[in-house]
Each structure stands twice: as C-alpha cells, then as structure tokens.
C-alpha cells in the first residue's frame, strides 16, 4: 500500500466516531427547522410585490336609490301597505295619469301598486282619485300637504347647471311649486317639508343618471 492510501484510510478510521456523533445532531437540527417553518407566520411581501398582487379597484357607476318603490299618494307604512292592499287594481284604474302599476309576478313593486317615476310620475291630480278608490285602506285619503311619498334629492355634480347652463325643468314641472322646490342662486333647493315625493322632477330631468330623484318614504323609514 502506498503512503497516500495508508494516510487516507487512517484518517477515515479516525473520523468515523466523530461522524456517528454528528449525524444525530444534524437530524435534530433539520427537524427543528421544519417545526419553525410550520409555526412561524408567513413572510409579508415587499411593497413592490404588493403592488403587483393587490387587486385593482374598479370604478362603480353612480346609482340612485330605487330599491324601494314609490307608492301611490296616501299609502300607509310600507309593511302595512303590502299586507293591507287587496291587489285588485282599483287605484290603477282610477289614476288619470296612468302612473300607478301592478306587476302580478311580484318581480316589480313586491306585487302591490307602485310608481316608477322615470317612466311616469304622480301628477298630484286635483281629485286624488286613487286614494278614494282604494277599498282596503292601504291608501288613506289626505290633503295635498299631507302627502308623503318621499323626498327629492338634487345632485349638483351631475346637474346641467354645473356646466353653467340655466336648466330649471325640475322646478317648472313640480306640481307643488316653490313650496317644494326652487332655484336659489345657482343651485336647486328642495324643501323636505314641502316636497311630497311625486317624482315629476325625476321624470323630466334630462340627465342620465338623474340629477334629481326621489328617495321613497319606505327608504326614509328604514334609515
């Protein structure tokens, strides 16, 4: 045996006991490392990574609240109205403006009389015929000043007046007059105590979405 092989074999025999002693320590260290990975919280991504992984915010178009329908003038509270109405359509037949509708499928207006102001608003007719035609008490006869279908809300940012034009269609079409709505300097001012919520201003507003719309009485009751 040459001298190199002799010394390699000798060193191998010399370090065998040391290798056997180190092996258990290596296994223990690996096991501890695995436990740390399981119990430690995940590392937070850097700011540059977050910029790529965070979802982009999408712009939601502005909507006006039509989730609760306008009810005919003289309607009692929403829950009682739905339970009391006979659904016979007498108010629909009596309405000279033909603005009151009933959807038998219940998909519109919860199956009871409703008004969709974008299509046909209540004109607050002189006879208030729908109230007197109701046989069930769901519509209670009241004077014009006592009617509360809702309250109109004006959105200045989308109104034609914001561009400098003198639009006053909503004021001119209101059947109540300046008691409910008027022009004040460059703005439209709605008097919540005078507005009956008929929706005439909403129907004739020329912008889309509407720059003036009625928040139904039922929505106000929930707020």
| pLDDT interval class at 47 (50, 70, 90) | very low
CA-to-CA distance for 221 and 149, rounded, in angstroms? 11
- 2 pLDDT more than 50: yes
pLDDT of residue 107: 85
| pLDDT interval class at 19 (50, 70, 90) | low
| pLDDT interval class at 135 (50, 70, 90) | very high
* 196-202 mean pLDDT: 97
Q: What is the DSSP string of the chain?
A: --HHHHHHHHHHHHHHHHHHHHHHHHHHHHHHHHHHHHHSPPPPPPHHHHHHHSPPPPPPPP----SSPBPPTTB--HHHHHHH-----HHHHH-TT--EE--TTSTTGGGS-EE-TTT------TT-HHHHH-SSSSB----GGG--SEEEEE-GGGSGGGGT----HHHHH-SS-TTTEEEETTEEEE-TTT-----HHHHH--SSS-SEEEEEHHHHHH-
- 55 pLDDT more than 70: no
- 223 pLDDT more than 70: no
pLDDT of residue 56: 38
| pLDDT interval class at 200 (50, 70, 90) | very high
* 211-215 mean pLDDT: 96
Q: Are 99 and 123 in contact (CB under 8 A)?
A: yes
Over residues 148-170, the pLDDT tens digits come to: 999 999 999 999 999 999 999 99
Go through the domains of the chain in sequence order and give each one's CATH number.
Answer: 78-222 (3.30.70)
pLDDT of residue 32: 43
Over residues 57-104, the pLDDT tens digits come to: 333 334 444 457 899 999 999 999 999 999 999 999 999 999 999 998
pLDDT of residue 95: 98
| pLDDT interval class at 27 (50, 70, 90) | low
* Residues sharing a CB contact under 8 Å with residue 159, sequence separation 6 or more, in sequence order: 167, 188, 207, 211, 212
Over residues 104-129, the pLDDT tens digits come to: 888 889 999 999 999 999 999 999 99
* 8-15 mean pLDDT: 57
Burial of residue 169 (CB within 10 Å: 0-12, 13-18, 19+) is middle
* 4-14 mean pLDDT: 56
CA-to-CA distance for 175 and 180, rounded, in angstroms? 9
The pTM for the full model equals 0.69
- 178 pLDDT more than 90: yes
């Amino acid at each position: 045996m040459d001298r190199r092989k002799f010394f390699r074999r000798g060193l191998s025999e010399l370090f065998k006991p040391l290798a056997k002693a180190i092996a258990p320590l290596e296994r223990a260290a690996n096991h501890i490392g695995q436990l740390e990975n399981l119990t430690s919280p995940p590392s937070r991504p850097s700011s540059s990574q977050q910029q790529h992984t965070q979802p982009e915010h999408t712009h939601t178009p502005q909507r006006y609240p039509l989730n609760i329908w306008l009810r005919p003038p003289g309607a009692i509270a929403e829950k009682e109205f739905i339970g009391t109405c006979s659904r016979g359509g007498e108010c629909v037949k009596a309405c000279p403006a033909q603005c009151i509708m009933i959807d038998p499928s219940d998909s519109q207006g919860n199956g009871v009389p409703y008004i969709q102001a974008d299509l046909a608003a209540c004109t607050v007719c002189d006879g208030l015929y729908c109230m007197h035609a109701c046989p069930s008490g769901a519509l209670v006869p009241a004077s014009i000043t006592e009617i509360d279908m809702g309250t109109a809300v004006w959105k200045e940012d989308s109104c034609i007046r914001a561009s400098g034009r003198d639009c006053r269609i909503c004021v001119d079409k209101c059947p109540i007059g300046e008691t409910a709505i008027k022009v004040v300097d460059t703005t439209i001012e709605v008097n919540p105590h005078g507005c009956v919520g008929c929706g005439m201003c909403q129907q004739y507003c020329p912008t889309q979405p509407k720059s003036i719309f009625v928040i139904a009485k039922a929505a106000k009751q929930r707020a």
